[in-house]
Structure 1
Amino acid sequence: MQTEKVVAHIVDWLKDYATKAGVNGFVIGISGGIDSAVTSTLCAKTGLKVLCLEMPIHQAPSQVSRALDHIEWLKSNFSNVSMTQVNLTPVFDSLIASLPPVDNEESRFMSLANTRARLRMTSLYYFAALEKLLVAGTGNKVEDFGVGFYTKYGDGGVDLSPIADLLKTQVYAIAKHLNVNADIINAAPTDGLWGDDRTDEDQIGASYPELEWAMAMDEKNKTENDFSGREKEVFKIYKRLNNNNKHKMDPIPVCEIPKEML
């Protein structure tokens, strides 16, 4: 990958899109992870206004500290960056208290994890409308188009996706090129939706390099019968998630009415 050229291309694309849309810049949620760190830095390099939101919901302290450190690093390097902290924990707790109890605790925990992401999306769009900004997405190629590892209308609810054509390993390469804080680069990827330090790999069952390999094999029309051992296991994980999450990655289905009925 020609990292410097890719960075320049994304920055130019962001600036051109925002200018044509007639907006002032971008708003982005900072999680303390690699994707939001890279995306926010690319947005900052446009010279347009960048509002960083830090939105904890029972967040692990390590995630909060990485997010705040990154925002301070951005502000010290880019005069167009500002930040707002929005503590969503009381909002989340109040919502939980108002919901009826359920029997299936596993489903409830998953639903509440997705609710965290949707509360953050709502907050991002509040500030986007208030200050005439675009919500910048932080999903990478494997998450957005491979395994669908994001929340529908949560972190998947954005105006534009600057790094969605980059694999996770490529995002790391750009992070190093941009001098993103080492703590973020070295931290295990996590979606931060559970109030603990569980990683993406803990949830998925495979690492991002493994998923990138599986995605490439799937594009070559390979099947699980072409592999054995760990490769077969990873490919099965990828295919299961890819199939189960089609409803996120495919366009919303529209019931088309036959013309003779209209």
Structure 2
Amino acid sequence: MSKKSNIKVGETNAFIVSWLRDYATNAKVNGFVIGISGGVDSAVTSTLCAQTGLTTLCVEMPIHQHSSQVSRGREHIEQLKKRFPNVKNVETDLTTVFETFKKVVPSSDDDIKVDLSLANTRARLRMTTLYYYAGIYGLLVAGTGNKVEDFGVGFYTKYGDGGVDLSPIADLMKSDVYALGEYLEIPKSIQNAAPTDGLFGDSRTDEEQLGASYDELEWAMIEAENNKNAADFSGREKEVFKIYSYLNSVNQHKMNPIPICIIPELYKKN
């Protein structure tokens, strides 16, 4: 179930950069702000933004972050600043904010729910921070979610890393993002690192959380779009397809518009 990118990398790169530049120009903003995690998605997104020539602010927001993620993020930022004079960076350590938050909210006996809620809290604190910088510098918050995460399995935090102004790589599969990363010459340490969301303060990988690799999930997403179902497969393929189908189902609330209670006309005064 290995997956290779089928995009024309150079042309795709140029198209996204042009799209970003046009959108920012029409919105009358100064550029973009991106949260840097040390992963391939944020590295590719920030490099795409940097190519526009507009202000590109890279923000590190550690919260008890694993050292390997911090070092990869800093390596990428330093490389990007050497290549593009319009790139700026800032670090906002949110650890004390996070710890204060934990002290003022109630606890629970359900450790699993607490851990997940606090992981999502990290993402939402970071979203708030990015919008603060966006507000004071006149920037757009650029999302770093790819197609599998955003529209396949919903592997992101609603109003956290999902809270953005525009999503330049959300129509790219993970394999496409890696292909762009290689083309853009992002650090090898990032290209070779196992994907992780970095929300638990340890080194657990996305694959460990999801139960399948991105290559496998891409395969399942394509098969689902071709109207296949679990009965069409066996062995590992069947297991992966079930994982994908379950996550896609339970996370539809992230992918669909917010439900609105429409008031019937008969309840309205003429």
Q: Which portions of structure 1, spanning 4 or more consecutive aligned residues, are displaced by more than 2 angstroms?
A: none
* Cα distance in 1, alignment partners of residues 235 and 106 from structure 2: 44
Match of 1:30 in 2: 36
46, 52, 59: which one aligns with 1:46: 52
Q: Percent identity?
A: 65
The letter of the residue matching 2:161 is: D
* Cα distance in 2, alignment partners of residues 69 and 214 from structure 1: 34
Give TM-score scaled by structure 1 length: 0.99
Partner SS state of residue 52, structure 1: strand
Q: Does 1:80 align with 2:47?
A: no
* Aligned 1:132-147 pairs, distance under 5 A: 132-147=138-153
Match of 2:4 in 1: none
Q: Does 1:126 align with 2:139?
A: no
Q: Does 1:158 align with 2:183?
A: no
The offset of 1:165, in angstroms, is 0.3
Match of 1:203 in 2: 209
* Cα distance in 2, alignment partners of residues 81 and 212 from structure 1: 32
* Cα distance in 1, alignment partners of residues 246 and 185 from structure 2: 36
* Cα distance in 2, alignment partners of residues 8 and 255 from structure 1: 42
* Aligned 1:1-262 pairs, distance under 5 A: 1-262=7-268
* Cα distance in 1, alignment partners of residues 211 and 186 from structure 2: 27
The offset of 1:97, in angstroms, is 1.2
The offset of 1:75, in angstroms, is 0.4
C-alpha distance after superposition, 1:68-111 (max 9, x if no partner) = 11010110000000001000000001110111121100000000
Partner SS state of residue 197, structure 1: coil
Stretches of structure 2 lacking an aligned partner (at least 5 in a row): 1-6
The letter of the residue matching 2:45 is: T
The letter of the residue matching 1:66 is: R
Partner SS state of residue 58, structure 2: strand
* Cα distance in 1, alignment partners of residues 208 and 258 from structure 2: 29
Stretches of structure 1 lacking an aligned partner (at least 5 in a row): none
The offset of 1:160, in angstroms, is 0.1
* Cα distance in 1, alignment partners of residues 176 and 27 from structure 2: 28
The offset of 1:174, in angstroms, is 0.3
Aligned-CA RMSD value: 0.5
Partner SS state of residue 89, structure 2: strand
Partner SS state of residue 32, structure 2: strand
Partner SS state of residue 117, structure 1: helix
Partner SS state of residue 56, structure 2: strand
* Cα distance in 2, alignment partners of residues 3 and 65 from structure 1: 27
* Cα distance in 2, alignment partners of residues 22 and 210 from structure 1: 41
Partner SS state of residue 88, structure 2: strand
**More displaced stretch, 35-44 vs 90-99:** 90-99
* Cα distance in 2, alignment partners of residues 23 and 175 from structure 1: 26
Give TM-score scaled by structure 2 length: 0.96
Partner SS state of residue 12, structure 2: helix
* Cα distance in 2, alignment partners of residues 206 and 62 from structure 1: 23
* Cα distance in 2, alignment partners of residues 3 and 52 from structure 1: 23
